[in-house]
Each structure stands twice: as structure tokens, then as C-alpha cells.
Structure 1
Amino acid sequence: MEKGSGQGESGERKRPYPGTSVGSSGGRPLLHGPNRNRSVKEQQRQRDATKIYLLRSYVNWQMEKELYKHFHDLTFVSNADFAEHLLQDHTKRCQMHLFRKDAESQTEAFSAAVTTERSVDTQKGEETFDPATSTPLKKPSAMFCPMSPVGVDIEQHGRETADHTHTLGNSCSQKELQKELEYCSDDEGEEDKFGDWEDVMDELNQSKLSVNQLETSLQVDEEVFGFQGDDRDSDETPVFEPNQPKQDTQPFIDSCVKEDKIIVWVSKIEELLKQVHGETCPNPSCQRMLGYQNTFTGSGLKVTWSCCEGHSPGQWFSQPLFNRMYAGNLLIASGVILSGNSLMKMTHFFKTIGLKSITKDTFYRTQRLYVAPVVDNFWQGMQQGILSAYGDQQVVLAGDGRCDSPGHSAQYCSYVFTDEATKKVLHVEVVDVREVGGKSPNMEKMAFERGMDFLMKQIKVEELVTDAHTQISAAMKNSVKFQDVTHQHDVWHGAKSIARKIKKASRLRENRVLQSWLPSIRNHFWFSSKTSNRDDVRMKATFLGILHHIVDEHEWVFGTDGRPGKCAHEELQDAERTKRWLKKGSVPHKTLATELTARRFLNNLKYYKNFRHTGILESFNNHLLMYAPKRHSYGYVGFTIRNKLAVIDHNYHADRRQATQVDGTPRFQCKYSKSTGRFSAQPLMEQKSYGYLPELMGLIFLQRANTTGPLNQQVPMKENDPKRIHPRISLLPRPPIQELIKCHKSRFEPSN
């Protein structure tokens, strides 16, 4: 059998082109590997990327041509004539350096001296600046062709626009460029300025420019593919920006964070720039109108100006640039999180007042890349400082869990541990429902055990105070690792529990008299726990004395501890009485005795003998609503850092003092309770300073400076991320949307 022309001496097929491969069945060489399907998809991707880029360039082409016609007072300009104008202008720019002269204030001799000095600086590689605008002048490259400015803001699908200045690669010759520009558009009338989209796509399909050449020279792969939504560095500055002068990072960050900011109208900025730079070209031989273009990138504004001939180009930025990103965009994304606000509400607020802001994609990328690592490190430093200060000291902990949503459909549970003495939060543990097999009632136990395992390695835990959670109580009772830790229940939860049972029993008609005794019974539970002196037998005897007191018996022979009993109050006056006594042996008295002498209730009294209260945890859970409201849904990263921010806020202001009047008198505020129907005076604390926020914001800027790669880079998933278990909380495969649409039925559809 003869060898084919494409085979070598060994019988194997040769690769006719370097860097290519030939399929097993021969045929056309594959440009992207031996896999034919992969090669076809790659070629299609490149072709589509080229079309997308040319489609965007086509719109800019039409606007530039209209601006050229307007400046030259022409009624018609063909695409060929306009392409020839651009090529001639481009050739002129490539042969000389562009230096701007101040015709109003500088003499010709001084201008010549400045030009000579700038030429020397340019040869040395130093940055040159415009003395009129303090703007670094861009060094002209061999193939740099700035387009004329157009005073419009193009928004694509509601996203912030990038700069519409394009560059042509060195691989693109002038003839190929002219041919491509002629293919980009046809002559069109004034009624349809941008033409029909179908015609545009036909023109793009007929493009003669090489796909590989376009992808290499225009960097289509970076501009179009590999990014989702607003991934094209939407809130970073465009690629071709002048390099900023090197400066000290920390003073610059302090200026960005601490400097005052205001809201300015765009029209006022344009008015100011026109007053400074004028409305006509300063070149004496030109005197054409200057065109000003506004480009919005998030909350930042870039204004560029130039005449149609490209004379006296300039630009101005409304915000400082920090590592190719507007400082305001980084401040907004970080400030929304650090202040505990919601992106949805802030975006709605910005739209309401017409204020430019960042996109949702930019917010979440900033949270993931910069805010989350900074908050984690800041909290770890604060936590280690608190825990290391204990040494060998025995610590009494208080713990409580809180779900992220009301009802029984929670996704996250955060368990918080505080020090009963200092009232500071020592640890917070977050558990996702996927970690417990989708059963949300089991999240609190898992979070509790994780937190206790961590804290028992750091400090010596003597006692733990929780609510009467059955799973946690069982774990503290049966687990060997917790056998040296005393477990106590919160006295507030205990009093609330017994009051709820009595209130339920008092709904019956014959027991309604017990409703007036509810506050007294609840207060007596607190008194019994406080005076028990850590003796559960004494607490039991003291508390059950209410069964004698309620029937007007204030001394009795034997109590539950085997000793004579007596009420601790002084002699009561009948005039001070507001409740009537119960009759001994009556139905209300027997009902109360049944509730108070229940076996489970009496066995649990030992958990209240140390008189522990977790009111600080209830206050913290209420404070956590500021950072993570239960009516909002968050991702795992967002929910975790919001919990840590709430802890940082709480610990930073834990030592606040009570506010005072001018004369030093403590201040109080009046508060009304709907449940009791009474007013009470509460101490008024000093205002929070939030002194840690500037430090956090500065660390976020440093994180941006030290992070390599763009804003849209891929970040590896953490080891503890619940998405490693399952991408969704349903733990079930998601059916196709077409099947769900077919099965969808509405009760409000008209019946046939």
C-alpha cells in the first residue's frame, strides 16, 4: 500500500503546519489540538468574539463619522473618505510626539524650552505632565490612534460603559484596516443613523480580516470571553490610561478614606472644564470646536476632550485612581458592607436620586476579593487579643444560637459565645443547612459543638450558660469532653417558660384570677434563683413558697427542704393590696400547684441555682439584625463576614459609658413596654464612635493593592464552603426549566 502525500516514512501523518495537528481521518489541520469538536468550538468562539467586537466598533464608527461631518460642515461623507482621513491622521501622529502648548500664558521661547525639556525627560523614560491640567501626557505609540470624542454615554444592557477608545495592533496593516473599515458599514441616510442590525451582521460575516489576527491585535479573548455579566473590569479604569506618578501608598489611602466627598452635577463639571480649557482648539492653525466626552465607570467620571483633528487632547478624572480602580467604587462597595446596609436598598436609593453607582457584580467581587479577607483577619486579630489575655483564668461563657430567617426554613445558624463578666463576644460559629443534611433544627447543636471545641483549646471554660435547648442540654450532660464544665440555664428564659405555662392555664374561665399573679410569680422565680446561694434544694423550697403566699399564708411548718418556711417580705398592709388572695384548695390554686410541682420542672431547677443571665446575647442578636436582617438572603461569605462585623462593632463599643448631662448628671431615656403597659427609665449610653471603620477601609485598600489580577479573577473555593457539599440547599438535582414550565399551572387561569 502506497503512502499518502501527508505521511512520513514511518507511516504516520505529518503536521503540515507548526503548532497544528491533523485529525485521525485526515482533512483540514486542526488549529487548537487533536480534538475536532474542541477545535471547532474554539474557532466558533473566536469568530463570535470578532463579531461582537466589530459590532461595538461599528457603532463607534458611525458616531465618529457623524462628528467628523458636523465639524467640517459636510452633508455626506463616504466610508472610504472617512477611513482615508483616519489613516492620514494616524500616520501623522505616529511620526511626531504630541506635546500640548499653553498659547495663552507661555511664550514661544518658553514653549520651545519646555518642549526640549520634555523630549529629554521622555528619552529618560520619565512621565511628562501638562502644566495647564496637571494631567500626565500619554506617550504616543507606534500604532496608537485616538478617536475623536463624542459627548454621549453608551450604556449596554444597563451596565457601566468602558472607555470607547480603541487601539489597532501592530499586526494590522493600513491596507487591511482600510478594507475592514469599508466592510464595516455602508452609506446610510439620516433617518437610520446606525443601520439595520441584520445588515450589520451580514457585513461582519463578510469580514476579510483574519480572525487570528483580530484576536491577537485587539485582545478579543480578554475583552469578551471568560467573563460574566459586567466582568470586563467594569469598575476599573480602561486599559490605556496614563500611568499615575508613584506615591506613598499609605498617605494616598488615608486621603481616599478620610477626605470629605460631595455630590456634584455633571453639567457643572462640564461647565467648569469648558471655562478652563475653552470650547475651541487652542491651536492657532485649527480653531475648531473641542468635543467633550463623558465616560462613567461606576461612580467615577472621566472627561476627555479634543478637536476633530486630534489637537490638544486632554482628560480629567473625578476620583483618584487606585490600582486601576476608581477609589469611590471601592469605597461604595466596602461601605455598604461595613455599615451593615443592603446593596438592593442602596442601589434603589442611588437610582432614586440619579446618582451613579457600581453594579451588583462589582459589589460581590469586591466583597469576595477584598472585604472578606480583611474582615476575617481583623476579627482573628481582635479575637486572639481577647483570648490571650485570660491566661489561666477560669471563664464563664454564655452561648445562644440564632437562625438567619424566621420560621423553620433557615439556611444559616450563627452561634455566639460571650464572656459573662466582660460581656464581650469571644467566638461566633456559622453553620449551613447543607452541613447537617438539610435539617435546620440540627444546625444549632453542630454550631455549639464547633464553638466549644475551639474555645476549650484556647481558654479554661468553667461554666456555660445557655437557654433550655434540649439537644445542647443532652450534649452537655452525656458528652465526655464537657464533663468538667458546669451547665446552667438562663434565668430569664426559665421565668418566661413558667409564665407561659401559667398564662395558658389562666385562659380557662375558672383560672382567670391567675393572670393578675403572673408578674409576681415571674419575679419570685428571679428572687429564688438569686437567693439560692448555688443550692438547688434551697431554691426549690424558696420558690414553692409561692403556693403558701398566694393563699395568704406567710409562715408554714415544713417546706420542701424539711425546715420551717417563712416569706421574706415585711408585713403587708391591706391598703397596699391590688390582688385578691386565692382560696386554699380552690381550682386556681390546684392548677398553679400542678404546674409548679411538675417533675420535669422541679428537676430542671438545678440549672438556675447560679443565677446566670444571657441578656447581653439577646441584645447582640437584636444588634445583628442591623448587619444581617432576617428578611434578606445572603451567600455564605456575605453572611459570615456580616456576623463578624456585628461582633467587631459590639466588642469595640462594649466599654461605653453612660451619657451625662452638661453638669455631669447621668442621662436616662423613657421606654414603654407594650407587654406590661408600663413606662420605665433606661440608661442612655454614649454615642458609638465606629473608630475601627477607617482602619478597616484602609486595610481594604491595601488588600486591593496587594492582590494580583483583575477584579473578575477566579478565586478558589474555601475548604469549609458549603458549596463543596452541594451547590444548592435543596440537595436535589435541579430539573430543566422547560419541564417546570410544562408542569406549571395557575389557579387563576380561565377554565375551558
Structure 2
Amino acid sequence: MQWNSQPHIQNTPAGNLHLSAAVAFNGASCIQIHKVLSALGVECICPRTFYNHQKAFLHPTIYWQWRTEQNTMLEKARLSGKAVVLGGDMRADSPGHCAKYGSYTMMNLDDNKVVDIQLIQSNEVGGSPRMEREGFLRSLQFLESAGLRVGAIVTDRHPSIQKYLREQRPEIQHYYDTWHVSKGLAKKIDALGKERSCGEVLAWRKSIINHLYWCASTSKTGQEAVEKWKSVTYHMQNVHHHNSDLFPVCTHPPLEMRAWLTPSTKACERFCDLMLHQRLLKDVGKLSRHRQTSSVEGFHSLILKFAPKNVAFSFLGMLNRLLLAAFHYNENANREPSVRVKWPKYKKGEHSIHYVKTAPTYNYVETMLRLLFEEVVFNPGPYQELINELKVPDHLCAAFDRPDLQESGARPWSRFSQMEQEPF
């Protein structure tokens, strides 16, 4: 007589597989879960078993579910008959110019959904600085090959992407995200304020950034935005009528005395040169008026929950964790917030209104669990074939190709010895 602690599915212990699926689909760490259960004295599977489950069942399930939902989103966009507005940006898996992976995200800004993620390994393109352009081109090519009509794209000011859209795709409107422009401008104002006799310009820093957003949101054309932006050089000298047909006079009511800049001083001259720099004027003319990439930046922050930057992952491991983050974002991005009134002490009896989002849902986990245990486990062939179509790049480290290391199972990345790694 033989006793089993759990039922089997296709010779695989069901409980073990369910534990692996719960860990993987929630973006958790198998090593941390193993430590927790071991501390409680609970017998559980070892990390090697988890990685075997992941390779055989979990990665194919995640990728299949992503392609299914992606096709649904693209079909909905095609049936609408409208040209979509996309927002794009790249996230690197480490700071600086030494990143191994770069993931380029394309988001449909009309419905706030992630429609495509392209993962690039640095040795595919000859270095990490080239990953953003390659990811953008791959994503745009994929979306257009799927029948999506792209009307406009909002990105940061990446020079290679600017050149490509300007020279090869002039039919696509290219806009710049206002936050990225304001971030660079704020740094230049701070640097100018540190110069001798120019400290007074720092008092105008916040107003200048607000004016930049106002120029972008209230202008119908790029030229109008540029003329409104130029007016700030007159305004700060207490001159509110300008030599411009598009914006001849400031729209604000009469103002009280402020720290106006004195004409012909060093601070005023240097500040005007900064505001009227030709490159800045060109960027202001291409600012996005209604849609920004702040949602893309929010999604990149969410990725840290599923793929922390202090953990090394294989190519498929990183890709599937990015897809899990996309599942979570698409399911919870548009949930309605609740309103909460608070009376903080620093306001001395006055109230403030806070918008609190409702608790997130995890229905995508239940969907993948059903797919796994009802279909993938019993017939993994089609799901494996789909993920086998992915072009996995060569290892970044040449030591992986050494036969002695392959036979011994040694890991050539000693600097990641204390981190969680997936078998390559």
C-alpha cells in the first residue's frame, strides 16, 4: 500500500504545482517563500522544483494569457476605427548605462492600457544606450502589423526616436511629455540660480514650471504654445503686453508687487537667454496638449513589485514578470477612487480632500490558475510552442558557454551570488 500526501496531475503533485503557480503568478520570490515555510517547519518544494514547474508550465501559461488579452485589446482598438494615441517609454533593470535589460512599454493613452512590452537585452543592439530605440521600433512595428492605426505618439525627447519619426514616419504626430521637459528645465534654473548675482531667479522656478504646463494645455497649435512661452520673459520684468499677434497680452488679473527681475541685469539677461533658447522653443512647440506619459511612469513604478532591480532574472523570467505587472496594471488602472475628508493640524481647522483608490483586485491570477489546471497541465504542447517562438538572445556573459561551467553547474556571475537567480 502506498500513501500520497496529495493528488497527482499527469504525474505532477498537484499541491506542489499549485504552490509554484501561486508564487509565480503573484510575482513573489520562491526563495523568500521557501525561507518563510522552512522557518515555520512546513515541508515545501525546493527552488529547483519551482524552476522546473516554471519552465514547463508557468511561463507558457503567463505568455499565452498575455497574447490572448493583447489580441483582445488590439481587436477592440481596430474595431473603433480611430487612430490611437500611444505613450512610450523605456525602463532599464539598473541605473546608469550598465543595464542588461531594457523594457519598452507602449500604452494606449485613450483607455490607459498597456498594449505591448518589448524586452531588449543589451548585447542584441551593441550596448544599453541603444536599447530604447530598438524597443520603440519593435513595438511600433508589431502594433502596426497587428492592424493598429497610429495617429500620434507621446514620448520623452530621445534623439534617435525624434529623428526616426521626423524623417521616416512624418505621418505620425510626435509629441513630448511635458513632465520630461519641465524636469530638464528645472535643473537648468537651479544651476543658473547658483551663479553669482543670479540667485533671485530661483523665486520664479515654480511659476515657470506651472507656466510651461499652462502653455501646453491651453494652446491649439505648437506656434501658439511658443508665443505664450516667450511672454514669460516680459512678464517677469513686469511687462504684460507683448509683440505677438497670437498672444498680445497676459490673461491674468492685475498683480500685486512681486520680486520682478530688473532689466539689463545679469540675472535677467541670463534668464531670458535660457527661456528663449532655440532648442527649448522647439521642444515647447511639440509639447503634448492633452495626454502625457505619467501613466507609463506609474506602470514602471509598479514593475518594481514584480521585478526588483536588485534581483537577477533570466530573459524569460524577466519577460514574464513584466507581463504580470501589465496584467495587474490593466486590471486596476481605471478603478474609481473614493473621496476622504481630513482635518490636518497644520491647516488649523481647515479641511483637505484626499482621493483614495479602492483596493486592487487580482482576478488575473484566478484566470491563469484555471488555464493552468484545466488546459496547460493536460496538454502543454501548444503553449510551449508559442513561447518557443520567442527569440531568446545569447547570454550576456560569455562564461555561460564554457563546457566546464555547464557540466559543474557553477554560476559565473559571482557578484549575484547572494541574489535570487533563475537557471539559465
TM-score w.r.t. length of structure 1: 0.49
Gaps of 5+ in 1: 1-137, 139-240, 242-314, 660-665, 672-678, 709-713, 738-752
Q: Pick from 194, 202, 210 the counterpart of residue 523 of structure 1.
A: 210
Q: Pick from 349, 370, 390 the counterpart of residue 57 of structure 2.
A: 370
Deviation (angstroms), 1:397 = 0.7
In 2, distance between residues paired with 1:423 and 1:587? Answer: 46
Higher RCO (C-alpha 8 Å, min separation 6): 2
Match of 1:703? 376
> Larger C-alpha radius of gyration, 1 or 2?
1
1:569 is matched by which residue type in structure 2?
A: H
1:545 is matched by which residue type in structure 2?
A: S
Matched, 1:639 2:312: no
Match of 1:478? 167
Match of 2:363? 691
Q: Pick from 399, 411, 415 the counterpart of residue 100 of structure 2.
A: 411
Match of 1:440? 128
1:415/1:352 CA distance change after superposition, 3 Å: same
- Equivalence map 1:357-436=2 (5 Å): 357-390=44-77, 391=79, 392-436=81-125
2:270 is matched by which residue type in structure 1?
A: T
Partner SS state of residue 426, structure 1: strand
Match of 1:148? none
**Is the CA contact 1:433–1:729 (under 8 Å) kept in the aligned structure 2?**
no
- Equivalence map 1:582-731=2 (5 Å): 582-608=261-287, 610-659=289-338, 666-667=339-340, 682-701=354-373, 702-707=375-380, 718-723=388-393, 726-730=394-398
Deviation (angstroms), 1:730 = 4.7
Q: Pick from 332, 344, 354 the counterpart of residue 41 of structure 2.
A: 354
**Is the CA contact 2:340–2:353 (under 8 Å) kept in the aligned structure 1?**
no
Deviation (angstroms), 1:603 = 2.1
1:510/1:354 CA distance change after superposition, 3 Å: farther
**Is the CA contact 1:370–1:700 (under 8 Å) kept in the aligned structure 2?**
yes
**Is the CA contact 1:524–1:543 (under 8 Å) kept in the aligned structure 2?**
yes
In 1, distance between residues paired with 2:253 and 2:386? Answer: 70
Match of 2:410? none
Q: Pick from 159, 176, 182 the counterpart of residue 495 of structure 1.
A: 182
Q: Pick from 247, 250, 268 the counterpart of residue 567 of structure 1.
A: 250
In 2, distance between residues paired with 1:539 and 1:372? Answer: 48
1:505/1:670 CA distance change after superposition, 3 Å: farther
In 2, distance between residues paired with 1:729 and 1:547? Answer: 53
In 2, distance between residues paired with 1:375 and 1:682? Answer: 36
The structure in which a higher percent of residues are helix is: 2
In 2, distance between residues paired with 1:510 and 1:318? Answer: 79
Q: Which runs of 4+ in 1 moved over 6 A?
A: 668-671, 714-717
Q: Deviations over 1:122-161 (max 9, x none)?
A: xxxxxxxxxxxxxxxx5xxxxxxxxxxxxxxxxxxxxxxx
**Is the CA contact 1:434–1:731 (under 8 Å) kept in the aligned structure 2?**
no
Q: Pick from 452, 455, 458 the counterpart of residue 143 of structure 2.
A: 455
Q: Deviations over 1:49-71 (max 9, x none)?
A: xxxxxxxxxxxxxxxxxxxxxxx
Q: Deviations over 1:205-256 (max 9, x none)?
A: xxxxxxxxxxxxxxxxxxxxxxxxxxxxxxxxxxxx5xxxxxxxxxxxxxxx
Match of 2:154? 465
In 1, distance between residues paired with 2:192 and 2:36? Answer: 50
Deviation (angstroms), 1:324 = 2.7
Q: How many residues align?
A: 393
In 2, distance between residues paired with 1:462 and 1:502? Answer: 34
**Is the CA contact 1:536–1:609 (under 8 Å) kept in the aligned structure 2?**
no
In 2, distance between residues paired with 1:322 and 1:732? Answer: 34
1:364 is matched by which residue type in structure 2?
A: Y
Partner SS state of residue 416, structure 1: strand
Q: Pick from 205, 213, 238 the counterpart of residue 552 of structure 1.
A: 238
**Is the CA contact 2:85–2:150 (under 8 Å) kept in the aligned structure 1?**
yes
1:697/1:349 CA distance change after superposition, 3 Å: same
2:289 is matched by which residue type in structure 1?
A: N
Identity %: 27
Partner SS state of residue 573, structure 1: coil
In 1, distance between residues paired with 2:14 and 2:317? Answer: 22
Deviation (angstroms), 1:527 = 0.5
Deviation (angstroms), 1:400 = 0.8
1:715/1:570 CA distance change after superposition, 3 Å: closer
Deviation (angstroms), 1:733 = 6.8
- Equivalence map 1:272-311=2 (5 Å): none
In 2, distance between residues paired with 1:344 and 1:515? Answer: 49
Partner SS state of residue 694, structure 1: helix
1:571/1:478 CA distance change after superposition, 3 Å: same
TM-score w.r.t. length of structure 2: 0.86
Deviation (angstroms), 1:523 = 0.3
Match of 2:412? none
